[in-house]
Amino acid sequence: MIPAKTALVSGASIAGPALAYWLAAHGWQVTVVERAPELRDGGQNIDVRGAGRTVARRMGVEDGIRDATTGELGTEFVRSDGSTVARFPASTSDTSGATAELEILRGDLARLLVDASVGSGTAGSGSSDAVEYVFGDSIAAIDDQPDHVRVSFEHGGDRDVDLVVIADGMNSRTRRLVFGSAPTIRPLGLDTSYLTIPRTERDSDWARWYNAAGGRTMTLRPDTKGTIRATLSFLSTPGAHAGLGPDEQKDLLREKFADAGWEARRILDGLEQEGDLYFEHIGQVHAPRWTSGRVALLGDAAWCASPISGMGTSLALVGAYVLAGEIAAHVDHRDAFRGYERIMRPYVAQAQQLPPGAPRLANPRTRPGIALLNTAARIGASRAFRAVGGKLFSPPADAIDLPDYSHLVR
Ligand SMILES: Cc1cc2nc3c(=O)[nH]c(=O)nc-3n(C[C@H](O)[C@H](O)[C@H](O)COP(=O)(O)OP(=O)(O)OC[C@H]3O[C@@H](n4cnc5c(N)ncnc54)[C@H](O)[C@@H]3O)c2cc1C
């Protein structure tokens, strides 16, 4: 019996487990290494749209996603007293609308994908251990040889594998080991923080969006845990807050939002007990190549399009499906990697095209700017303009012809 080919995947969020699922389905043996000590359950509602949803269906997780949807009714723009400026009901199509039909907490989706991957690869091989997860470790060195890759781990030990896939996010350090400084992160001038706070009777199942002067925005969104997912975003100079520790990040948020009004006090109070604060300067990754030798980039590590695109999850799911499918379809990994880049490049390029003026237009600095945004939201939400309003939030989630690799599943 020919031994199974082996892959090492860095990052257990969305892209990594999805790839592990598909590689195992194609008969590979996969190890996923995740730096965090356990699966990270933080993050907010994320959208599974278009081709991403088709991939989820092919993985057999679409029903699981539907069962775990947050039930968000739509998005409301509000004034400082909480009154409604404009309402955009949840979309009934899977590609348009600020609230997509399949909204799921990022941590819940990661859990679904990990569970699916562990059950993958069992059909033909009779093995239930095709996918292994290693938490609390990461790749320290990669030695890419013509016939294998030797990987060394931070916590000691080496491993030889056929391929390495780096799926560890926008700020991937592993990427640098192989691709150096060629991939660039284009900062978008917006710091965003995600946190979970207690639900109160003022909350509903509508997502609420509030703009404060100074380019500050707050959102509150329902979840499935009886709590509320909050964001605090503000326009900022790229790099200004890089390298802050969690306590410094909290201090910065308290200072920035102290006089922001609406629910700012309550959200800032939530920082006191916050365990899963996730603070980032949003940006996009642009990499001239996603593959080198026996190593490939995947997901945000390869092409982060930013949360503004609404496409991060769908791109990760589709990219994982295509990369694994191309690997299964070719004897030589170089042909597989060429196919992967050829199929994914146009899809990613469209997703990275953000609406003009993003993110500044959605985060006005002045009160007249906010009044203008609110007027635009009111018009967009009106019956006559609803279709246009929907299109404003319609990412190109279906802009790819998904290849069929079902004949390669073992
Ligand atoms: C905790 C968290 C919360 C998020 N919240 C949101 C949100 O609310 N809204 C939104 O739009 N997007 C959010 N994102 C980003 C979103 O998940 C991605 O844009 C998208 O789903 C693509 O996922 P990905 O798997 O490519 O990368 P990511 O989701 O960024 O996952 C990368 C994974 O790699 C791990 N990792 C990082 N460095 C290493 C290393 N050196 N070695 C091993 N593992 C490493 C990380 O811990 C993480 O699990 C969040 C990501 C994380 C990790």
CA of 114 to the centre of ligand 1 (A): 14
State how far the Cα of 27 lies from the Cα of 255, in Å rounded to an integer. 53
DSSP 8-state class, residue 384: G
State how far the Cα of 255 lies from the Cα of 251, in Å rounded to an integer. 6
Buried b (16+ CB within 10 A) or exposed e, 164-186: bbbbbbbbbebbebbbeeebebe
Please tell me the residue having the least CA distance from ligand 1 atom 10. 307
Of 37, 129, 61, 6, give the one whose Cα is nearest residue 313.
61
316 CB near ligand 1 (under 6 Å): yes
The residue range of the domain holding 165 is: 6-44+55-71+105-184+285-355
Does an H or E element contain 347, and which?
helix 333-352
194 CA: nearest ligand 1 atom: 8
Percent of the chain clearing pLDDT 90 (strictly above): 75
In a domain, 297, yes or no: yes
DSSP 8-state class, residue 308: G
List all residues 6 or more positions away from 357 whose beta carbon is below 8 Å from its beta carbon.
none
172 CA: nearest ligand 1 atom: 38
CA of 247 to the centre of ligand 1 (A): 21
Q: What is the pLDDT of residue 124?
A: 46
In a domain, 370, yes or no: no
CA of 227 to the centre of ligand 1 (A): 21
| Most ligand 1 atoms within 8 A of CB, residue of 39, 41, 168 to mutate | 168
DSSP 8-state class, residue 220: E
Query: H-type helices in 234-329, by residue range?
Result: 246-257, 264-272, 300-303, 312-329
Whether the CB-CB separation of 68 and 74 falls below 8 Å is answered with no
Kindly give the pairing relationship between strand 84-89 and strand 216-222: unpaired
Q: What is the pLDDT of residue 3?
A: 76
State how far the Cα of 156 lies from the Cα of 406, in Å rounded to an integer. 38
CA of 91 to the centre of ligand 1 (A): 25
Amino acid identity of residue 188, one-letter, is: L
In a domain, 394, yes or no: no
Tell me the pLDDT tens digit for each residue of 65-95: 999 988 889 999 999 999 999 998 886 655 4
| Most ligand 1 atoms within 8 A of CB, residue of 8, 10, 13, 151 to mutate | 13
In a domain, 13, yes or no: yes
167 CA: nearest ligand 1 atom: 26
Buried b (16+ CB within 10 A) or exposed e, 272-293: eebeebbbbbbbbbbbeebbeb
Q: What is the pLDDT of residue 385?
A: 59
CA of 13 to the centre of ligand 1 (A): 5
378-384's contacts with Cβ under 8 Å and 24+ in sequence apart are: 378/85, 378/86, 380/86, 380/88, 381/86, 381/87, 381/88
State how far the Cα of 24 lies from the Cα of 45, in Å rounded to an integer. 28
CA of 110 to the centre of ligand 1 (A): 10
Q: Which residue has the tokens 């170089």?
A: 334
| Most ligand 1 atoms within 8 A of CB, residue of 41, 45, 53, 106 to mutate | 106
Kindly give the pairing relationship between strand 139-144 and strand 131-135: unpaired
State how far the Cα of 105 lies from the Cα of 46, in Å rounded to an integer. 6
CA of 14 to the centre of ligand 1 (A): 7
Domain of residue 349, CATH code = 3.50.50.60
For the chain, residues with pLDDT lower than 50 are 95, 123-127
In a domain, 158, yes or no: yes
Please tell me the residue having the least CA distance from ligand 1 atom 50. 43
In a domain, 243, yes or no: no
List all residues 6 or more positions away from 88 whose beta carbon is below 8 Å from its beta carbon.
74, 75, 76, 97, 98, 99, 380, 381, 389, 390, 393
Buried b (16+ CB within 10 A) or exposed e, 361-396: ebbbeeeebbeebbebbbebbeeeeeeebbeebbbb
State how far the Cα of 228 lies from the Cα of 226, in Å rounded to an integer. 7
Q: What is the pLDDT of residue 230?
A: 94
Please tell me the residue having the least CA distance from ligand 1 atom 51. 43
Q: How many domains does the chain have?
A: 1
Q: What is the pLDDT of residue 62?
A: 95
35 CB near ligand 1 (under 6 Å): yes
State how far the Cα of 3 lies from the Cα of 321, in Å rounded to an integer. 23
43 CA: nearest ligand 1 atom: 5
174 CB near ligand 1 (under 6 Å): yes
Amino acid identity of residue 85, one-letter, is: V
List all residues 6 or more positions away from 46 whose beta carbon is below 8 Å from its beta carbon.
103, 104, 105, 106, 109, 312, 313
State how far the Cα of 110 lies from the Cα of 210, in Å rounded to an integer. 29
CA of 152 to the centre of ligand 1 (A): 22
409 CB near ligand 1 (under 6 Å): no
In a domain, 319, yes or no: yes
Q: What is the pLDDT of residue 122?
A: 55
In a domain, 387, yes or no: no
